[in-house]
Amino acid sequence: MSQTNKGSLIVLSGFSGAGKGTIVKSLLEKYPNYILSISCTTRKPREGEVDGREYFFITEEAFTEKIEKDELLEHARYVDCSYGTPRDFVEKMRNAGRDVILEIEAQGAAIIRMKCPDAILVFIMTPSAQELEKRLTERGTDSPEKIAKRLRRAEEEIKCIPDYDAVIVNDDLDRAVEDVHQAIRVLGWRPCSRQELIRSFAEGLSGINGKRA
Ligand code: 5GP
């Protein structure tokens, strides 16, 4: 958390299959100030996924209604489905001082960057493209067609990496978790993440100088 009362907003993106989910799970277990935002999606649940835990699984109509009511902080299409971040939860948690993690793809990350310039954007990669293909195939959750789509999408996403603040390679899980945590900590020291602190310091200084004049 930065040295203001408000928690950080952290975007974790990465190629599908790069191990973002596992890294997030481990971060949440190790560091209690992190909290994960649960997204809405129109994708069908995979085996073992529970509504309200991995995602809020909703219909296209319900998704459109959320957009119309401005209830989503960002949203994007990804491989034939819609995904979006509920705004309310993020704001409430940040205001309560929690560091909120969004596990989202690159289009959504770009929207967050625009709307929340102090957000911390981290991109997770596998050590190589071959390793990515291997992990997607071995995961066994997607059909060969879906895997092909996810790999093509990776070609698009790689072009967005320069817009992130940090790139972490997930070769060894424990190291990747620590690298992500350290990157978040250090990026929380940027002036844009410390605006509240700088503003209150400036006010204090102006008060002191006013009295001394
Ligand atoms: P999956 O179908 O594998 O669960 O997710 C597909 C992609 O959508 C992943 O890259 C995931 O990070 C991203 N995603 C999940 N939730 C959101 C969201 O709320 N907004 C955006 N923009 N992307 C999301």
Q: What is the mean pLDDT of the chain?
A: 94
User: Residue 77 corresponds to which tokens in the numbers above?
Assistant: 């299409």
CA distance 18 to 137: 12
In this predicted structure, the answer to whether residue 37 has a pLDDT above a threshold of 70 is: yes
- Name the DSSP letter for residue 7: P
Model confidence pLDDT, tens digit, residues 67-112: 999 999 999 999 899 999 999 999 999 999 999 999 999 999 999 9
pTM of the model: 0.92
Nearest CA residue ID for atom 21, ligand 1: 104
Closest residue by CA, ligand 1 atom 3: 16
Atom 12 of ligand 1, residue of closest alpha carbon = 104
Instruction: For residue 21, give every residue at least 6 positions away whose Cβ sits within 8 Å of its Cβ, in sequence order, or none.
Output: 103
Question: Is residue 2 very low, low, confident or very high in pLDDT (cuts 50, 70, 90)?
Answer: very low
* Cα–Cα distances in angstroms (integers) from residue 42 to residues 63, 101, 213, in the given order: 7, 21, 62
CA distances (Å), 3 to each of 31, 178, 204, 207, in order? Answer: 17, 21, 16, 21
Q: What was the pLDDT predicted at 5? A: 78
Residue with tokens 């929207």: 111
90: which 2 tokens? 């993020």
Neighbours of 148 (CB within 10 A): 13
Residue 105 Cβ inside 6 Å of ligand 1? The answer reads yes
Domains, in order of start, for the chain? 9-37+99-212 (3.40.50.300)
Position in ligand 1 atom list of the atom nearest CA 55: 16
pLDDT above 60 (res 3)? no
17 within ligand 1 shell (Cβ under 6 A):
no
Residue 1 has pLDDT above 50, yes or no: no
Structural contact between residues 102 and 11, judged by C-beta atoms closer than 8 angstroms: yes
Percent over 70 (pLDDT), the chain: 98
Q: Which residues contact 153 (CB under 8 A, 6 or more apart)?
A: 16, 78, 79, 105
| Residues 188, 189, 195, 201, CA torsion sign | positive
Backbone phi, psi, residue 14, to 5°: 165, 165
Q: Ligand 1 within 6 A of 34 CB?
A: no
Q: Is 99 in the pocket of ligand 1 (CB under 6 A)?
A: no
Q: How far is the CA of 210 from the centre of ligand 1 (A)?
A: 51
Pocket test residue of 88, 105, 158 for ligand 1, highest count of atoms within 8 A of CB: 105
